[in-house]
Amino acid sequence: MKMGATKVSGSDDYLFHPQLLKNLDWDSVQNILNPAITNENTGEPWLLVRPLHITDYDKGYLQILSQLTTVGNVSKTEFERQFWNMYKAGGYYLTVIEDTRSNKIIGASSLITEFKFVHNCGLRARLEDVVVNNTYRGKQLGKLIVLTVSLLAKKLGCYKMSLDCKDPLIPFYKSIGYKLEPGNANFMTIRYEDSPKPS
Rounded CA gap, 149 and 93, in Å? 8
Q: How far is the CB of 57 from a second copy (least distance, A)?
A: 9
**What residue type is 128 in one-letter code?**
E
Residue 173 CB, nearest distance to a second copy (Å)? Answer: 5
Question: Which window, 1-9, 16-24, 40-48, 164-172, contacts a second copy (CB under 8 A)?
Answer: 164-172
Binders of a second copy among residues 120 to 159 (CB under 8 A) are: 120-122, 128-129, 150, 153-154, 157-159
Distance from the Cα of residue 13 to its chain's centroid: 16
3-class DSSP state for residue 47? strand
Indicate the burial class of 39 (C-beta count within 10 angstroms; 0-12, 13-18, 19 or more).
buried
Q: Does 160 bind a second copy (CB under 8 A)?
A: yes
Under the binding rule (CB under 8 A), the answer on residue 1 touching a second copy is: no
The total of other beta-carbon atoms located within 10 Å of residue 129's CB is 13
**Is 181 strand, coil or helix?**
coil
Residue type, 190: I
Quick one: which segment of 3-11, 37-45, 98-106, 186-194 binds a second copy (CB under 8 A)?
186-194
Q: Which is nearer to a second copy, 33 or 65 (CB)?
A: 65
Q: What is the rounded distance in angstroms from the CA atom of residue 62 to the CA atom of residue 38?
A: 25
Amino acid letter, residue 125: A
Among 30, 70, 134, 135, binds a second copy (CB under 8 A): 70
Q: Which of 5, 35, 167, 171 binds a second copy (CB under 8 A)?
A: 167
- Smaller CB separation from a second copy, 101 or 170: 170
Contact between 49 and 96 (Cβ < 8 Å): yes
Residues at the site binding a second copy, with contacts judged by CB under 8 A: 61-62, 65, 68-74, 78-79, 81-82, 85-86, 89-92, 112, 114-122, 128-129, 150, 153-154, 157-167, 170, 173-174, 177-181, 183-197
